[in-house]
Amino acid sequence: MCDDPREAPAGAGFSAGLAPWLERLGNLRNVVRQQLVARQLDTHLPTTDGPLRVLDVGAGQGTQAIRLARLGHDVTAVEPSPEMREVFTRAAAALEGDARERVTLLDGDATALSQLTSPAAYDVVMCHGVLMYLPEPGPAMVELARCAAPGALVSVVARNADALAWRPSMRHEWTAALHLLDEQERALADGSDAFYVNEIGIRARADRLDELMATVEREGLRVEQWYGIRVASDDVALDTPAPPPDELARIVEVEERLGRTDPYRRLGTLVHVVARAPAVGQMTWLDADHP
Write the DSSP string, 24-84.
Answer: TTTBHHHHHHHHHHHHHHHHHPPP-SS--EEEEET-TT-HHHHHHHHTT-EEEEE---HHH
With beta carbons less than 8 A apart as the criterion, state whether 236 and 29 touch: yes
- Percent pLDDT > 70 in the chain is 90
Give the confidence band of 116 by pLDDT, cuts at 50, 70, 90: confident
Give the confidence band of 19 by pLDDT, cuts at 50, 70, 90: confident
State CA 160 to chain mean position distance: 11
pLDDT (tens digit per residue) in 198-256: 988 899 999 999 999 999 999 999 999 999 999 999 999 989 999 999 999 999 999 99
pLDDT (tens digit per residue) in 166-179: 999 999 999 999 99
Give the confidence band of 153 by pLDDT, cuts at 50, 70, 90: very high
Quick one: average pLDDT of 81-95? 95
What pLDDT is attached to residue 229? 98
CA distance 119 to 198: 34
Q: Are strands 74-78 and 148-159 parallel, antiparallel or unpaired?
A: unpaired
What pLDDT is attached to residue 48? 79
What pLDDT is attached to residue 104? 95
What pLDDT is attached to residue 59? 96
Q: Which amino acid is at 243?
A: P
Write the DSSP string, 270-282.
Answer: EEEEEEEPPPTTP
Domains of the chain: 5-278 (3.40.50.150)
Quick one: average pLDDT of 147-176? 97
What pLDDT is attached to residue 4? 52
What pLDDT is attached to residue 118? 66
CA distance 205 to 150: 31
